[in-house]
Amino acid sequence: MNLHRNCELTLPGWLDQYMDEWNEPLDTVEQRMKLAVALSAENVKHHTGGPFGAIVVEEQGSRLLSVGVNLVTTAELSLAHAEMVALSLAQSAAQNWNLGAASRVQLITSCEPCAMCFGAVPWSGVSSIVWGASKEEAEAAGFDEGDKPENWAETLERRGIATQGGVLHEEAATVLARYARRDGAIYHPGKN
């Protein structure tokens, strides 16, 4: 049997120069969210995926560990959500699936995590997650965010993962709404 043996997640070419030119600090959750939202907007601008961006940073010291943008349509991988990309790249760089093994790590995402990304958070080793736009706003733009427990944030808190939502909410929601107005690709089986 000849099975396909690998898949690849590669960030878009525009991202290197964009990050080289990013010179703003990442000391606060608002500064961090500003970058995640900017990445989501740039991803739409360059037609390299959906309107979602994420970063992984050390909570103390604010060292940027990775960035991610939604690559579902360009990589043809349903798992290539911005959060999954950012977490995977951080884990690859650390050569450790447990991002919390060496320090406290934070995931910042431009939108509340979907069911898949929510599921990945506890196993990634992050100690906190921060999001901008809400599930309802992603769904209003046409995305299927899947089913999560109603008290999903509390379930993370019980596991010791701090949560904070609505950071730069308006800016993050604007990117989703703009994407929907421009008829960007909405990718889930019910839309094909």
Phi (first) and psi of residue 70, to 5 degrees? -70, 125
HSE-CB of 141 using CA atoms within 13 angstroms: 27
Q: What is the mean pLDDT of residues 140-160?
A: 94
What integer pLDDT is reported at residue 102 of this predicted model?
A: 87
Q: Please report the DSSP string for 123-192 in residue order.
A: HHT-SEEEEEE-HHHHHHTT-------TTHHHHHHHTT-EEE--TTHHHHHHHHHHHHHTT----SGGG-
Q: Please report the DSSP string for 84-110 in residue order.
A: HHHHHHHHHHHT-S-GGGTS-EEEEEE
- The amino acid occupying position 38 is A
* pLDDT tens digits for range 108-145: 999 999 999 999 999 999 999 999 999 999 999 999 89
Q: Give percent of the chain with pLDDT exceeding 70.
A: 97
Could you list the active site residues? 83
pLDDT averaged over every residue in the chain: 94
